[in-house]
């Protein structure tokens, strides 16, 4: 949050992280030693995230961003001149394209072939002609990989090109 928001102060980031750790580790430790059991909707990771967000927002409201913090934030979003390189950018783009986009195109096929079809065969939900019932949750879950990984790959490619291949 502190990297992208211009209103979060250094103190808010610090106290927010500390609250997140405490509200995650302490309840988990108390569960581990057997003092109590939290219901599943009060997972310590969720408690930590909520505490971190709440403390960060509260401390940010009571403090103000200094000129030094603002300058540091601007510096974080500037690409160092020595890192701008078309050759290095081409190599870096292999990750979002080869890993994310290809994964988004190949994984749905694999999930449908090795998970959805056997699952629908076992549960008897295949259509009478033996084809998949495309209007079920498991098909949507398999198909969601296309949207998630294709979009992630395209966004990552855009950001890398924009910032490093000027």
CA distance 5 to 144: 29
- Residue matched to tokens 């990771």: 45
Is the predicted pLDDT of residue 163 greater than 90, yes or no?
Answer: no
pLDDT for 111: 95
Spatial distance between the Cα atoms of 132 and 124, rounded to a whole number of angstroms: 10
The gap from C-alpha 123 to its chain's centroid, in whole angstroms, comes to 33
Report whether pLDDT(61) > 90: yes
* Range among 12-16, 92-96, 160-164 rated most confident: 12-16
* Both structure tokens of 108: 């749905």
pLDDT of 166 above 80: no
User: Is pTM beyond 0.75 here?
Assistant: no
Span 19-35, pLDDT tens digits: 999 999 999 999 999 99
């Amino acid at each position: 949050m502190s990297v992208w928001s211009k209103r979060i102060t250094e103190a808010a980031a610090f106290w927010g992280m500390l609250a997140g750790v405490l509200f995650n580790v302490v309840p988990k430790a108390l569960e581990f030693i057997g003092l109590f059991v939290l219901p599943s909707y009060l997972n310590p990771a969720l408690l930590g995230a909520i505490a971190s967000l709440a403390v960060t927002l509260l401390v940010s409201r009571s403090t103000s961003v200094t000129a030094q913090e603002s300058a540091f934030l601007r510096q974080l979003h500037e690409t160092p001149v020595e890192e701008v390189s078309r050759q290095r950018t081409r190599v870096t783009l292999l990750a979002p394209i080869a890993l994310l986009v290809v994964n988004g195109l190949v994984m749905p096929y694999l999930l449908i072939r090795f998970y959805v079809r056997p699952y629908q065969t076992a549960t008897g939900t295949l259509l009478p002609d033996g084809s998949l019932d495309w209007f079920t949750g498991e098909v949507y879950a398999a198909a969601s990989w296309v949207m998630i990984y294709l979009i992630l790959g395209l966004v990552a490619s855009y950001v890398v090109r924009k910032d490093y291949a000027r």
